[in-house]
Amino acid sequence: MIEFIGVNKKYSHDVSALDNINVRIEKGEFAFLVGPSGSGKSTFLKLMIKEEEPTNGKILIDNKDITRLKQKEIPFLRRKIGFVFQDFRLLYDRTVSENITFALRVIEASDREIKAQLKNALEMVGLSGKEEYYPNQLSGGEQQRVALARALVTKPPIIIADEPTGNLDPATADEIFKTLLEINSRGTTVLVVTHAKDIVNSLNKRVIALDHGKVIKDEQRGGY
C-alpha cells in the first residue's frame, strides 16, 4: 500500500533529511511514525503527498510509483489520502457540515452522496447532531473530530494523522485514538505521527522510528 524504496532527500548545503529509507506499510495496517524534531517525519509525509520530491529512490502508493506522476495526476493521488492536522485547519466561517463536505463538493459529488457520506462520517466520529455548529462553538476535541470526519468523508484508503492529539487533554486524546482504531478496523490504512509515548506504548502497534533521517527501529509490536 505504502512503500519507500531506497529513498533519499537532501536539501541545500547537502543537508540530508532522509537517508536510504526502506519501509513498507501494508494495506489495512496501523503504524506509528515517531522520532525527535528534525528526524525526518515531516519530510516523510510531504513526500507521500508530493509536496516534496525525493532526491532519489521510489515511493509507491497502491503499487504505483508516485515519483513518476504528472502534475495533473497529483490531485487524484491526494484523494487517496485523508490528512488530519494537529492544528485542525478548519474553515471557521463555515459550519461543521460545510467543513466536512468541502472535499466532496470539490469533486462534484451528488447531493445524495454528500448527504449519505456526511451522515456516516458524523456517526463515525461521534458528532451527530452538531452539523450546523461552527468550529468556535466546539471544544478542541470536537474540532479535531471534525478534521477527522473531513479526512474520512471521501473514503480514502489511507489516513495520515500528524500529531492528532498534540493540543488535546489525555482523555480527549484517548477518544481520538479509539476513533482511529475503529477506522482502521474497517480496513483503512492508518499512519500516525506522534510524540505521545504513553499512547504508542499502550496500543502495541507497529512503530517506525526515525532519527537524523534514518530508520533506527521498525517493530511490528513496538514501543517508543
- Strand, helix or coil for residue 214: strand
What is residue 15's predicted lDDT score, i.e. its pLDDT? 87
Q: Is pLDDT of 222 > 80?
A: no
Question: What are the structural domains of the chain?
Answer: 26-53+76-219 (3.40.50.300)
Angstrom distance (rounded) from CA 119 to CA 214: 42
Q: What is the largest CA-CA distance in the chain?
A: 53
Confidence of residue 223 (pLDDT cuts 50, 70, 90): confident
**Phi/psi zone of residue 14: left (φ > 0), alpha (ψ -120 to 50 degrees), beta?**
left
What is residue 127's predicted lDDT score, i.e. its pLDDT? 95
Calculate the average pLDDT of the chain.
94
What is residue 119's predicted lDDT score, i.e. its pLDDT? 95
Angstrom distance (rounded) from CA 50 to CA 66: 8
185 vs 103, residue with greater confidence: 185
Q: What is the pTM of this model?
A: 0.93
159 vs 170, residue with greater confidence: 159
Angstrom distance (rounded) from CA 209 to CA 224: 8
Q: Is pLDDT of 157 > 90?
A: yes
**Phi/psi zone of residue 54: left (φ > 0), alpha (ψ -120 to 50 degrees), beta?**
beta
Instruction: Return the exposure string of 120-140: e unless at least 16 CB atoms fall within 10 Å of the residue's CB, then b.
Output: ebbebbebeebeeebbeebee
171 vs 31, residue with greater confidence: 31
* Sheet with 16-25, side-by-side order of all strands: 16-25, 2-10, 56-61, 64-65
